[in-house]
Amino acid sequence: MTLGMSVLSVMMLATTVFELPSGLMSDAMGRKRVLVFGALASLVSALAYALSQGVWLLYVGAVFDGLSVALFSGNNDALLYDLLKSEQAEETYKGHLGRISSMAHGALTVAAVAGTLVLNWSSYSMVMWLSVVPRVICLLLTLWVDEPRTATIREGVVPWRDLVEVLREVRENPRLVKLIVADSLSGGVGEASYQFRAAFLRMVWPLWAIGLTGALGDFGAAVSYWFSGKVIDKIGAKKSILLEKLYSLCCNVISYAMQNSLSPILLTSTSMFYGLVNVAKNDLSQRLYSDRHRASMASVKSLATTLVGALAAVVMGIVADHLGAVTALLAFQTVSVVVILLYWDILREPEGSVRTPSRSC
């Protein structure tokens, strides 16, 4: 258990370290190159895990795993948005992002089942070697991806000067600043609470049943992502985000307060809105990012979310040690109230008024 957590910690640390540089690379070198580098890093990671006979190769795999996550982080969404924008079809971004994300969560469900079956008749080593196959296919597929026609590959970029320019552009857009704060609080505290929730689930369900919540959650998220584009087009981003936040807040408070066998079911039901709210927030973000620094701005937000999540996890652990897990989880629901107020302020402007700002080179 300790080894597994240490490998996970190395992966998360690597993701944090590479987050900002990867966004700057994407904006300077082009989306396709960074996509290929990310797929290559993912393949190296899988090979290191599969070949490991000791701890050091596991750590090498974790570093490359974190690198691949960082390279994909802001780049892939920017690639999709830029490809659609080059075809003057950015209004369809929500639908395409939802379908792609739905397939990713569906794959998580299938992989969990397949991994369990393989592990029953083979070994962890076989599971790791089988994971190399899709990474090879992924790398080959990236070679056929086109660079968006709207992308501008810039030579001789000084990274730190570029970062200063990115931060200045963010600061000059108050609505984007508020969105980054809201998304960072929502994503960071939400992820910390989700990881900490396992301690609560063990209090109300048998250990063998806890895995069901993860599988059902992935399935619910896949369904939510698949239909998110159509739902957002029908009711709008404002209602999509605020309704999800209010529903999740109510479900969380009621579940933790009840502390009975119905609590996990109620908590898992929030996954049916997970894809909807993430697509709505992502679409709003892409419209507020500048064309010149789209991936870098996404990396700034991802880094902020990671740092908030790390801090929230530490504080939540301290509160739980002194007052109990349930009290800690309930106390952090106050952050959800702040997040709802922030989104309400951000979304007061008419949705049609949101346009992607451009910046001349």
Q: Determine the pLDDT at residue 84.
A: 93
Locate 16 and state its tokens.
Answer: 């944090």
Q: Determine the pLDDT at residue 360.
A: 37
| C-alpha–C-alpha distance, residues 9 and 284, integer Å | 31
Phi-psi region of 161 (alpha: psi -120 to 50; beta: other; left: phi over 0): alpha
Contact call for residues 116 and 104 (beta carbons, < 8 A)? no
Instruction: Name, in order, each residue with C-beta under 8 angstroms of 270's C-beta and a sequence gap of 6 or more.
Output: 244, 247, 248, 251, 252
pLDDT of the chain, 361 residues: tens digit per residue: 456 557 878 888 899 899 989 998 888 888 999 999 999 999 999 999 999 888 889 999 999 999 999 999 889 999 999 999 988 998 999 999 999 999 998 888 788 778 878 877 888 888 889 999 999 999 999 999 988 876 666 655 666 788 888 899 999 999 999 999 999 999 999 988 888 888 888 888 887 777 778 778 888 999 999 999 999 999 999 999 999 999 999 999 999 999 998 999 999 999 999 999 999 999 999 999 988 889 999 999 999 998 998 888 889 888 888 888 899 999 999 999 999 999 999 998 765 555 545 443 3
Q: How many CB atoms lie within 10 A of CB 337?
A: 11
| C-alpha–C-alpha distance, residues 179 and 281, integer Å | 9
Q: Determine the pLDDT at residue 359.
A: 47
What's the pLDDT tens digit per position in 324-344? Answer: 889 999 999 999 999 999 999
User: What does the H/E/C string look like for 283-312?
Assistant: HHHHHHCCCCCHHHHHHHHHHHHHHHHHHH
Domain regions of the chain by residue span: 2-148+159-348
| C-alpha–C-alpha distance, residues 139 and 131, integer Å | 13
Of all residues in the chain, the percent with pLDDT exceeding 70 is: 92
CATH code of the domain occupying 2-148+159-348: 1.20.1250.20
Q: Determine the pLDDT at residue 350.
A: 62
**DSSP run (H or E) holding 26:** helix 2-29
| C-alpha–C-alpha distance, residues 335 and 348, integer Å | 20
DSSP string, 247-273: HHHHHHHHHHHH-STTHHHHHHGGGGG
